[in-house]
């Protein structure tokens, strides 16, 4: 068993792939040069020919088709990956445009591969017209979700509503960065390291929050209350000063502090301030500002109340 795993690992190496590619190319060249005519006559004999109704094929046809499919798909994979690697280096294009260009290039490569494969196998396209129509209807019903996700992915790339690196939030609770938009799904990396594959169709038919669609700024809200005996004007100034002193607090718009309500045991404020880049997180600046407010209140004698209850003990009658 260990030898099998080592052999499989060797097959994944570049050297093994290159050697196998050379062998396949040599077989194809030998077939075109007539060096495999003896093998073809043997495998094309009647005893190696199988028939299904009007359709018949020999072992030679199956062997030729297998070699052609493997070889052409291998070539298409190499061309597709190499082309995609070079297209990603075009820095003049935006990431979404590069992704769209790569997808179009890969689609063209595999479509050309399909046409070449049909020609190599000697399949008449006109004979497949009727069968292809019925088969296309069946595949259309069976693969409508896949087709819908593929089209949705193209719409996302054209509209640029969700691009790589955007901070997005879906209505099902998925929250994180869009890392890649593929043919079927968009990869979203959450803050806890999970990689969530979200179908492209969800971005089209559902409500999506893109925190970085037009600008990377994000707002932080901090509700807090002070006791009725405190100086509320001083409290408001200390709250605003705590926000302004933070290095990630935006200068435009400036922090705002509003007196929201007179509660049961406190005068309640709401602090609003913006961070320049929401992708760097909001919890850290929120925590820093809250600690600064706590220290400032403590130094200036302003108290943050907490719920209190009076307990009355009723003595039972004798």
**pLDDT by residue for the chain (318 residues), tens digit each?**
455 445 445 444 566 566 666 766 666 666 666 656 666 666 566 666 655 555 555 666 666 677 677 777 777 777 777 777 777 777 666 665 667 677 777 777 777 877 777 666 666 555 555 555 555 565 556 567 777 777 787 788 777 788 888 898 898 888 899 888 777 788 899 888 889 999 888 888 888 888 888 888 889 999 999 999 899 999 999 999 999 999 999 998 899 999 999 988 899 999 999 999 888 888 899 999 999 999 999 999 999 887 766 666 777 766
End-to-end CA distance of the chain: 88
Q: Which two tokens stand for residue 291?
A: 């600690």
Cis peptide bond prior to 71, omega within 30° of 0: no
**pLDDT reported for residue 11:** 46
Cβ contact 190:176 at 8 Å: yes
Contacting residues for 259 by C-beta, under 8 A, at least 6 apart: 232, 236, 267, 268, 269
**pLDDT reported for residue 50:** 59
Residues, the chain, total?
318
Q: Please give, one letter per residue, the 3-state secondary structure of the chain.
A: CHHHHHHHHHHCCHHHHHHHHHHHHHHHHHHHCCCCHHHHHHHCCHHHEEEECCEEEEHHHHHHHHHHHHHHHHHHHHHHHHHHHHHCCCCCCCHHHHHHHHHHHHHHHHHHHHHHHHHHHCCCCCCHHHHHHHHHHHHHHHCHHHHHHHHHHHHHHHHCCCCCCCEEEECCCCEEEEEEECCCEEEEEECCCCEEEEEHHHHHHCCEEECCCCCCCEEEEEEEEECCCCCHHHHHHHHHHHHHCCCCECCCCCCEEEEEEECCCCEEEEEEEEECCHHHCCHHHHHHHHHHHHHHHHHHCCCCCCCCCCCCCCCCCC
**pLDDT reported for residue 10:** 47
In this structure, the strands spanning 256-262 and 218-226 are unpaired
128-142 helix and 144-159 helix, angle to the nearest 10 degrees: 80
Cβ contact 282:209 at 8 Å: no
Cβ contact 198:269 at 8 Å: no
Q: Is 130 exposed, middle or buried (0-12, 13-18, 19+ CB in 10 A)?
A: exposed
Reported pTM: 0.54
- 226 forms beta bridges with 267
- 195 forms beta bridges with 189
The CA-based angle 78-83-86, given to 5 degrees, is 130
Query: What domains are defined for the chain?
Result: 12-124 (no CATH), 160-210 (2.30.30.60), 218-300 (3.30.70.100)
């Amino acid at each position: 068993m260990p030898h099998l795993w080592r052999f499989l690992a060797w097959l994944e190496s570049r050297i093994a792939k290159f050697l196998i590619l050379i062998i396949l190319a040599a077989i194809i060249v030998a077939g075109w040069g007539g060096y495999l005519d003896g093998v073809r006559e043997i495998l094309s004999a009647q005893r190696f020919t199988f028939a299904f109704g009007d359709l018949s094929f020999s072992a030679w046809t199956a062997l030729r088709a297998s070699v052609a499919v493997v070889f052409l798909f291998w070539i298409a994979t190499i061309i597709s990956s190499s082309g995609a690697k070079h297209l990603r280096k075009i820095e003049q294009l935006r990431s979404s445009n590069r992704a769209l260009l790569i997808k179009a290039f890969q689609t063209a490569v595999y479509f050309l591969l399909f046409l070449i494969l049909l020609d190599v196998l000697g399949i008449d396209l006109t004979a497949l017209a009727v069968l292809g129509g019925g088969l296309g209807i069946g595949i259309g019903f069976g693969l409508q979700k896949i087709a819908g996700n593929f089209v949705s992915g193209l719409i996302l790339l054209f509209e640029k509503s969700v691009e790589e690196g955007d901070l997005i939030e879906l209505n099902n609770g998925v929250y994180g960065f869009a890392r890649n938009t593929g043919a079927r799904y968009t990869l979203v990396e959450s803050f806890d390291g999970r990689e969530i594959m979200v179908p492209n169709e969800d971005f089209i038919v559902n409500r999506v929050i893109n925190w970085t669609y037009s600008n990377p700024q994000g707002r932080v809200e901090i509700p807090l209350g002070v006791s009725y005996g405190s100086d509320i004007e001083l409290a408001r100034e200390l709250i605003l000063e705590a926000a302004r002193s933070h290095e990630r607090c935006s200068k435009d718009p400036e922090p705002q502090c509003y007196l929201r309500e007179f509660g049961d045991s406190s005068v309640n404020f709401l602090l609003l301030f913006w961070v320049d880049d929401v992708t760097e997180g909001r919890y850290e600046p929120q925590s820093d500002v809250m600690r600064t407010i706590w220290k400032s209140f403590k130094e200036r004698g302003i108290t943050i109340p907490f719920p209190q209850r009076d307990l009355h003990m009723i003595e039972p009658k004798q």
